[in-house]
Amino acid sequence: MVDRPLFFISVSLITISILFSYSLSSFAILYYEYGEFHFALRQSIAGIFGVLLMWGISRCNPDNFVLRFGFVLFFGGIFVMFIMHFLPESLATSAGGAKRWIRLPFFSLAPVEFFKIGFVAFLAWSFSRKFSLLEQKSLKEEFITFLPYVAVFLIAVYLIAILQNDLGQIVLLGTTLAIMMIFAGSSFKLFLYLLSGAFVLFIAVIVTSTHRIARIKTWWAGAQDLILSFFPQSIANSLRVENLPEPYQIQHSLNAIVNGGILGEGLGNGLIKLGFLSEVHTDVILAGITEEVGFLGLLCISALFIALVFRILKIANRCANNVYYLFCSGVAVILGFSFLINAFGISGLIPIKGIAVPFLSYGGSSILATSIMIGIVLSISKKAKMA
């Protein structure tokens, strides 16, 4: 039987998304002179299609669907993200000088959102064949086994971090790759070596981009007081950097969270959306939500996400098929870490990455891709053993 709690949790999050896409988009509506329900209507259409997709995919037989559909999204995503760079502006929408969306009638498609599904499906299929919880390999053998995945990941780095200038998605995909590898049966020692290598690659990608260096400086401007408070005064003084740019985005996000207090300012009464931050209903939606419904409201939404990830991991734990187990685990990692990266970003704990909150952030591609993920997990749940 399909996991009904997972379906209803997902529908609840979609409903919340539609509500706040209306409440938090007031300034954008006035600025662009859109109709009052411009964003809410589009999010409602995406949400309805998302629910229908979840329901339709949940009825499919995963044995005939998961890997075929996953490979289509994986290789199709690579192809589309590559050619998108060469498309004219009339067909591809740019952000920060990089093309990230393909323009379709009434809709802009972000290929990276659907590529993530294919990436998880590819890793689930391949890891189930290359790694085993029952077979012990030497560290050298594990490195040799892992080398092809380095090549795959570097392709993703080129397509997403370089061509699309989107380091946040690469951090998310790298985290998913590492955790899925542990779930598949690799040693923790290999994980630590790869983590060190990923950190070096991460630093290299940052220092070769003035845009990313500026973002790190902005984050450090807001975070250094808190972080350096844990160090002795002499060390803190030597690490402190003066004359840094003002952490505008983080500062206003924190102001919104503080203004919300325990119960919030009331639905529709938030101030952050009134031009202090652009398009609050997208990447910083958690800050806007917290200001209007307070800490308790954010706590309820966090509980929904915890329940969402818990249900997915519970399904994964019941799967006898290793591919299904790894796919569900990968989906849980993608959704859980997307929420955490966004939440840590708006609270100033890490630099803001521009990662959408699954289901909540405004955007058709994000909500449809997340719905497809959940739909596949729901179809797999029919094969899972009963508790």
* Whole-number percent of the chain with pLDDT over 90: 44
Q: Is the pLDDT of residue 386 over 60?
A: no
Per the model's pLDDT, the better-predicted residue between 345 and 223 turns out to be 345
Q: What is residue 176's predicted lDDT score, i.e. its pLDDT?
A: 93
Of 372, 275, 368, 278, the closest CA to residue 42 belongs to: 368
Q: Which has the higher per-residue pLDDT, 335 or 33?
A: 335
- Paired with 102 in beta bridges are 92, 109
Percent of residues, the chain, with pLDDT higher than 70: 95
Longest dimension (CA), the chain: 63
Please spell the DSSP secondary structure of 217-237, one letter per residue. HHHHHHHHHHHHTTS-HHHHH
pLDDT at residue number 2: 87
Integer Cα distance of 23 and 15 in angstroms = 13
Instruction: Please list, in sequence order, all residues whose beta carbon lies within 8 angstroms of the beta carbon of residue 242, skipping any fewer than 6 positions away.
Output: none
Would you place residue 327 in the very low, low, confident or very high pLDDT band (cuts 50, 70, 90)? very high
Q: Where are the beta strands (DSSP E) in 105-221?
A: 107-109
pTM: 0.89
Query: What average pLDDT score do residues 114-141 get?
Result: 84
Q: Is 220 exposed, middle or buried (0-12, 13-18, 19+ CB in 10 A)?
A: middle
Q: Share the mean pLDDT of the chain.
A: 86
Q: What is the pLDDT of residues 18-27, one digit of tens each?
A: 999 999 888 8
The SS3 of residue 107 is strand
Does 96 have pLDDT greater than 80? Answer: no
| Per-residue pLDDT at 114 | 96
Top mean pLDDT of 76-85, 162-171, 221-230, 231-240 is at: 76-85
Residue type, 70: G
> What are the strands, taking DSSP E only, across the chain?
92-95, 98-104, 107-109
Per DSSP, what are the bridge partners of residue 235? Answer: none
User: Which pLDDT tens digit goes with each residue over 286-313?
Assistant: 999 999 999 999 999 999 999 999 999 9
